[in-house]
Amino acid sequence: MIAKLKKQEKREQGIIRRKLERLSALASEFLEKTFSYDSLVGDWPEMERLKSILWTNLWQGNINPDDPDWCPETNEDFAKMILYYHKLLTEGFWIKFKHELKHIKATKGPTIIPDGFDGLENESLADVDAFIKVEIPYTSMTVRFIRNSNKVQFMRSSVDAIPALLNLLQGLPMDNLRFCENIDCGKFIVKTSGKDRKYCHGLCQSVQYQRQRRNKTPEEYKQYHREYYQIIKKRKNKSKQSNVI
């Protein structure tokens, strides 16, 4: 019995790991990026790449390959299809989901109430679910985001691409869904391994480190940069002298 439970737990962990990897690819390469018709319409390989990202990470290949809406014949139709799904997923749901996710994380600890939730500082919000209105062309649906849980959980009705994204998010550990800790960035990131990922890019990590160092020891920080700039200045002067000779 114990061996069976461990096997089941291992299988569930494998499912969660693969879903986190899919969400990470979908978010970083599609949901967290911006696209324009002009940039896409003349770049068929890029549109094929984005289509492959959706195929693999959103639908897992569960789309009829003969569907004319999924197999556009012209560059123009292809670009419109990519932009349709991007707008449907981001403006229709993803942006609102991230807003609620930030709020949930903020209300679980002694942190500042995020923008848009002013006046609720003294309210007990641990058990208050979020109702996210999903905007779909010509219609809409409401998704109930279960708040009192350490995992992402939804109750929803069914509609095309949105359930695929909901299924991808369903059951994922909250702690693996994060926002870049560079306060000027805040980009959504996914922790996919045991490594404690806090930044979307090494540049953001460097910027935040420099900011913290500047705030903690301002004089030491200024002195360091004065010395650094002197070194750079000497190198430039030496280079100029070498060029003159």
- The pLDDT tens digits for 196-228 are 888 888 888 888 887 777 777 666 656 655 665
For residue 111, the model assigns a pLDDT of 45
pLDDT of residue 45 exceeding 90 = yes
For residue 219, the model assigns a pLDDT of 65
Residue 207 tokens read as: 């910027």
pLDDT of residue 243 exceeding 70 = no
Cα distance between residue 110 and residue 36, in whole Å: 40
**Three-class SS of the chain:** CHHHHHHHHHHHHHHHHHHHHHHHHHHHHHHCCCCCHHHHHCCHHHHHHHHHHHHHHHCCCCCCCCCCCCCCCCHHHHHHHHHHHHHHHHHHHHHHHHHHHHHHHHHCCCCCCCCCCCCCCCCCCCCCCEEEEEEECCEEEEEEECCCCCECCEECCCCCHHHHHHHHHCCCEHHHEEECCCCCCCCEEECCCCCCCCCCCHHHHHHHHHHHHHHHCHHHHHHHHHHHHHHHHHHHHHHHHHHHC
- The pLDDT tens digits for 137-178 are 767 777 778 877 788 887 754 445 777 888 888 888 888 999
Cα distance between residue 34 and residue 186, in whole Å: 16
- In the block, residue with structure tokens 């695929």: 164
For residue 120, the model assigns a pLDDT of 55
Cα distance between residue 158 and residue 87, in whole Å: 18
- The pLDDT tens digits for 86-98 are 998 999 899 999 9
For residue 110, the model assigns a pLDDT of 47
Q: If pLDDT is split at 50, 70 and 90, which confidence band does 63 have?
A: low
